Amino acid sequence: MTTTLALANQKGGVAKTTSVASIGAALAQAGQRVLLVDLDPQGSLTFSLGIDPEELEVSVAEVLLGKAVVRDALVTSEEGLDLLPATVALAEAEENLVTRTGREQRLKVALAKIADEYDWIVLDCPPALGVLTVGALSAADEVLIPLQAETLSHRGVGQLLDTIHDVRRFTNPDLVIRGVLATMYDGRTAHARNVLAAISETYGLEVIDPPIPKTIRFAEAPAIGRTILSTARSHKGAEAYRDVARVLMAGR
């Protein structure tokens, strides 16, 4: 059975793309068949996996507009992760989708054609609550919310939850909130611990354990088109993502 997992947060800079790539790599290392989907017009996930968006002729943009099928757009990273990549064309595609029939279901319909080939499909949502994010949430079985453990970082959680509520009401009633993943976490500070406690108390969301520690290694890995699980296999950050992957697999 395929599980489609969306990582969503309208706030940028919360390590969402890093988490998608690292969770995908951890799942693959655990023997799972994994497809990652880049839904950010900036193509950060695509670039971070060592693939130049400017060299691609077919991407998720063409798939969403019905100009290509998913299989025509798939690429494989050097780490062996399958990817449905994004290019700058996705920005224009998003504008066009606003007036297209079935825009919320286009990603789900496209992925359905290859879903049986994977155990996990992990969606990297853009840092906005627009058509692309709603489409991702409509296609997902579960949504995971990456969140930096700082006060300002969690102020938008309520808005995201409102969007998830609307998606459940109109396009995907079975969508499950898997929980919150704390990123760039410094457990030495009471502030970070208090923010996570506040998230749980205020919104009733599960906080996935362990939190992802703050480290420069996460910034270094994309520079060579890899994830931390490849560049620093025994680092505590890599181990944390492996633990998160185990939690996700156990919850299936």
Q: Convert the pLDDT of each residue in 66-78 to its tens digit.
A: 999 999 999 999 8
pLDDT at 66: 95
Burial label for 20, CB within 10 Å (0-12, 13-18, 19+), is buried
Report whether pLDDT(5) > 80. yes
pLDDT at 46: 97
User: What percent of the chain stands above pLDDT 70?
Assistant: 98
pLDDT at 158: 85
User: What percent of the chain stands above pLDDT 90?
Assistant: 70
pLDDT at 59: 98
Question: Angle CA(88)–CA(90)–CA(93) in degrees, nearest 5?
Answer: 130
Sheet containing 207-208: give its strands across. Answer: 75-76, 82-84, 34-38, 120-124, 3-7, 142-148, 176-183, 207-208
> What average pLDDT does range 53-68 have in this prediction?
96
CB proximity list for 186: less than 8 A, separation 6 or greater: 149, 192, 213, 214
User: Which token pair is 152?
Assistant: 């300002």
Question: Angle CA(99)–CA(104)–CA(109) in degrees, nearest 5?
Answer: 115
Q: Rounded mean pLDDT of the chain?
A: 92
CA 166 centroid distance within chain:
20
CB proximity list for 48: less than 8 A, separation 6 or greater: 17, 18, 21, 221, 222, 225, 227
Q: What is the pTM of this model?
A: 0.95
Specify the range with the lowest mean pLDDT, choosing from 91-100, 132-141, 202-211: 202-211
Q: Using CA atoms, how far apart are residues 105 and 8, in angstroms rounded to an integer?
A: 17
> What average pLDDT does range 20-29 have in this prediction?
96
> What average pLDDT does range 204-231 have in this prediction?
85
User: Which token pair is 3?
Assistant: 């599980």
pLDDT at 114: 97
Report whether pLDDT(214) > 90. no
Q: Using CA atoms, how far apart are residues 115 and 108, in angstroms rounded to an integer?
A: 10
Q: Which residue has the higher pLDDT, 208 or 152?
A: 208
Q: Using CA atoms, how far apart are residues 193 and 207, in angstroms rounded to an integer?
A: 11
Report whether pLDDT(151) > 70. no
> What average pLDDT does range 44-54 have in this prediction?
94
Q: Are 15 and 218 in contact (CB under 8 A)?
A: yes
> What average pLDDT does range 132-136 have in this prediction?
97
Bridge partners for 37 per DSSP: 84, 123
pLDDT at 149: 73
pLDDT tens figures, 183-206: 988 777 777 778 778 878 888 889
Residue type, 44: S
The H-or-E segment that residue 92 falls in is: helix 89-97
Q: Are strands 75-76 and 207-208 parallel, antiparallel or unpaired?
A: unpaired
Report whether pLDDT(20) > 90. yes
Specify the range with the lowest mean pLDDT, choosing from 74-83, 105-114, 166-175, 230-239: 230-239
